[in-house]
Amino acid sequence: MARKKIALVGSGNIGGTLAHLIGLKELGDVVLFDVVEGVPQGKGLDIQESTPVEGVDVRYTGANDYAAIKGADVVIVTAGVARKPGMSRDDLVGINLKVMKAVGEGIRANCPDAFVICITNPLDVMVWALQHFSGVPANRIVGMAGVLDSARFRTFLAEEFNVSVEDVTAFVLGGHGDTMVPLVRYSTVAGIPLPDLVKMGWTTQERLDAIVQRTRDGGAEIVNLLKTGSAFYAPAASAVAMAESYLKDKKRVMPVATLVKGGTYGQPDDVFVGVPVVLGEGGVERVVEINLDAAEQAAFNKSADAVRGLVTVAKGLIG
Ligand code: TXD
């Protein structure tokens, strides 16, 4: 069986980390693409030279021409500009919309059957734009944010309870950004929901509220520390988990930015926003519609409306 081909459009901090992790997991051969000459080639060669040490058989190629992504099974898109301190994710719309046009056309021409994972910010509206420009069916294109946001939530919860991160599950819904909706009552330690853990005296409501807020601000916390860029290790790990679920048909249940159809999740019309889905060989095989209470539904609506607002801005820019 031929190896899978994974194209990474954008070879910056996340792109390079993706390339490394994909190699360590032997998920397939990797094509690194970027507009900057030399960077994808250099990162590809550097990681290639680590493969004998790691004992993995993966072929790396670096390219500045979209022809190199021809026939890719998976495309992971990080191309664009990242946030600097003081910038919100939304400040990036205009710049990254143009990038999504170029990337979408490259996918349309070279690998229209690929499973596409978008990471570029502002996430939910960029997934909309990439689908618009690439023509990839909605079940084959997703945005990575929820896996990262819930990984941050799980990290902080595991620290709070002094238990293994493996035994903490967490759910984060909604758009990637300040309106994300961490779902406390669907988050557990070994199956025990967080509200029960408060009753059991493992933590207090105040501490839990602070953890929820830290999760919402998780991206900014890293931006403020790094000063010259945004998070890349955890975002790359999150996207690789999504690609792996698709490539190995694991059918994992993961929160991703996907097309939520009007009539589901209380939405009046279609919108790309984060909800749990089953990810398998069919891409998004199922959208898991969970019950939301009034407060959760209101928070989700606010988040979806924020995405709609940005899509309207993007449509205006496209003309
Ligand atoms: O949860 C999430 N979705 C995110 C998203 C978490 C963290 C960061 N998130 C966003 O991912 C971030 O705001 C950025 O929009 C992307 C990529 O982040 P990264 O940290 O990898 O940014 P870099 O290091 O600046 O890399 C971007 C690369 C860089 O090498 C540019 O030369 C390249 O993108 N680039 C392009 N590649 C191809 N085609 C075009 N047009 C292009 N323009 C820039």
pLDDT of residue 86: 78
Whether residues 159 and 10 fall in one domain: no
pLDDT digits (tens, 9 = 90+) for 46-94: 999 999 999 999 999 999 999 999 999 999 999 998 777 777 777 889 8
Q: Are residues 96 and 219 in the same domain?
A: no
- Give me the sign of the Cα torsion angle 203, 209, 212, 214: negative
Same domain, 75 and 205: no
For residue 62, what are the β-bridge partners? 32
- Whether 153 and 221 share a structural domain: yes
Distance 34 CA to ligand 1 centre (A): 10
Q: How many domains does the chain have?
A: 2
- Based on the fold, state whether residues 98 and 244 are members of the same structural domain: no
Range 2-21 average pLDDT: 98
Q: Is 12 annotated as a binding residue?
A: yes
Query: Is residue 172 in contact with ligand 1, taking CB distance under 6 Å?
Result: no
CATH value at residue 126: 3.40.50.720
Residues 102, 32: one domain? yes
300 plus 186 within the same structural domain: yes
Confidence at residue 218, expressed as pLDDT on a 0 to 100 scale: 95
Q: Which of 84, 112, 143 is the last residue of a domain?
A: 143
Distance of CA 57 from the midpoint of ligand 1 (Å): 27
For residues 25 and 18, what is the distance between their CA atoms, to the nearest angstrom?
A: 11
Instruction: Single out the residue in 143, 161, 182 at which a domain terminates.
Output: 143
119 plus 172 within the same structural domain: no
Determine the distance separating the centroid of ligand 1 and the alpha carbon of 117, expressed in angstroms.
Answer: 13
Decide if 299 contacts 180 (C-beta within 8 A). no
Token look-up 């459009």 returns: 9
ipTM topping 0.85: yes
- What is the model's pTM? 0.97
| Structural domain harbouring 23 | 5-143
Which residues have C-beta within 8 Å of that of residue 25, sequence separation ≥ 6? Answer: 240, 244
What mean pLDDT value characterizes the chain?
A: 96
Percent of all residues in the chain with a pLDDT value above 90, rounded to a whole number: 92
**Residue 182, ligand 1, Cβ within 6 A:** no
CATH of the domain at 221: 3.90.110.10
CB of 106 closer than 6 angstroms to any ligand 1 atom: no
Q: Identify the active-site residue in 4, 20, 140, 176.
A: 176
Same domain membership, residue 63 and residue 128: yes
30 and 112 together in one domain: yes
- Residue 308 assigned as binding residue: no
Q: Look up 132 and say whether it is catalytic.
A: no
The verdict on whether residue 119 carries a ligand-binding annotation is yes
Ligand 1 contact via 95 beta carbon (within 6 Å): no
- Say if residue 62 is in the same domain as residue 130: yes
Name which residue sits closest to atom 17 of ligand 1, judged by CA: 78
